[in-house]
Amino acid sequence: MAGERIICIGAALTDEIFTSLEKPETGTSNPASYRKSAGGVARNMAANLAQLGLEVGLVSHFGEDPEGDFLLTECAGYGIDCRFSKRSHNPTGRFSAILTPEGELFAAATVSFLEAEITPEYLASIRGYVQSAGLLLADCNLSVSSLEWLLSFSRDIQIPLIIEPVSIPKIRRLAGLDLTGLYLLTPNLSELDALTGEGENEISDWLEQAGIQSVWIRKGASGSEFISKKSRLSVSAPSVSVVDSTGAGDAALAGWIFGFVNGKDALTCIQFGHSMAALILEQNGSTFASLEPIILEQKYQQLYVPSISPHSA
């Protein structure tokens, strides 16, 4: 499907990141550094995919405010098609996070009007555009009813749908929905348990019962595991120096998709995902400002393709 449009549906937010200068503590004020950047799960994925040379559309909500102008300008800079996103008097969403000095997430909060704006009725009104996709990505910032609409739509039109859970509370929005035909779900272990109540060893049976084609389980520094009806792959995580963990999961999925649309095998897709996450973990911000396909290819080669000594026989 290389060359076909990928449409990302979900959150576009301004990220406000506070990095504690010392180990953060609850119930008190923590001295920190501050930075602001463009974020939101769907927007992050759209930005990464666009930089990797793919045709990308974004369906999200932007307020009629300076923050909305900021995000739309950022998207335009990446070449993301936002014509079918919605602007309204509701303010642009915000994500505020406190990180440890090592760049790990300590606490976070999100304010967003995405659920109120990107409704099933709105999605139905842009059905023709959504139908033009070769691949759909949705994040669980969407409402239950909008996720249900997308699941039904992708089954009816037979367009592969990938869902990114976002968080433990938000993956629970999928509970009770008909997940039959869902192409890929990308939870971490805690999110998976919140949705299924099953351990990872029993996930194959749950997959079959739910009718989901595949699950990619994120395990942080322990790597990840890709489970489908046909196979089960475990891939270790490369060793990286973490500067900021914000957006690493979104980046991993973008890397996987880059491999997928370019016809790579399952193992290579996962390794591209890990390589893309490594690029993000090693710098500040949820996207890599100067990303190009060659940079991801080089990172993949560095991390996963062993060098051959010129003296080897």
Q: What is the CATH number of the domain that holds 245?
A: 3.40.1190.20
Structure confidence at residue 110 (pLDDT): 85
Structure confidence at residue 310 (pLDDT): 47
Structure confidence at residue 131 (pLDDT): 96
Structure confidence at residue 126 (pLDDT): 98
Look over the chain and give the mean of its residue pLDDT values, rounded to a whole number: 89
Q: How far is CA 59 from each of CA 98, 121, 155, 239, rounded to the nearest angstrom?
A: 28, 13, 19, 35
- Interhelix angle 248-261/266-281, nearest 10 degrees: 150
pLDDT at residue 78 tops 70: yes
- Residue in the structure block whose two tokens are 């999925």: 253
| Structural domains counted in the chain | 1
At 309, the pLDDT band (50, 70, 90 cuts) reads very low
Range of the domain at 180: 6-21+34-299
d(CA 46, CA 75): 8
pLDDT in tens, 95-105: 899 999 988 88
Of 103-117, 270-284, 285-299, least confident by mean pLDDT is 285-299
Residue 313: count other Cβ atoms within 10 Å of its Cβ: 3
**What single DSSP character describes residue 201?**
G
Q: Is the pTM of this model over 0.85?
A: yes
At 233, the pLDDT band (50, 70, 90 cuts) reads confident
Counting every residue written for the chain, the total comes to 313
Any domain includes 26: no
Answer for the pair 9, 59: CB distance below 8 angstroms, yes or no.
yes
**How many Å from the N-terminal Cα to the C-terminal Cα in the chain?**
40
**Positive or negative, the Cα torsion across 100, 251, 36, 170?**
negative
**Contact residues for 26 (Cβ-Cβ < 8 A; gap 6+):** 107
pLDDT in tens, 151-202: 999 999 999 999 999 999 999 999 999 999 999 999 999 999 999 887 666 7
At 93, the pLDDT band (50, 70, 90 cuts) reads very high
Pairing state between β 105-111 and 56-59: unpaired
Locate 193 and state its tokens.
């348990």
Any domain includes 274: yes
Any domain includes 309: no
Any domain includes 211: yes
Percent of the residues in the chain that have a pLDDT greater than 70, as a whole number: 91
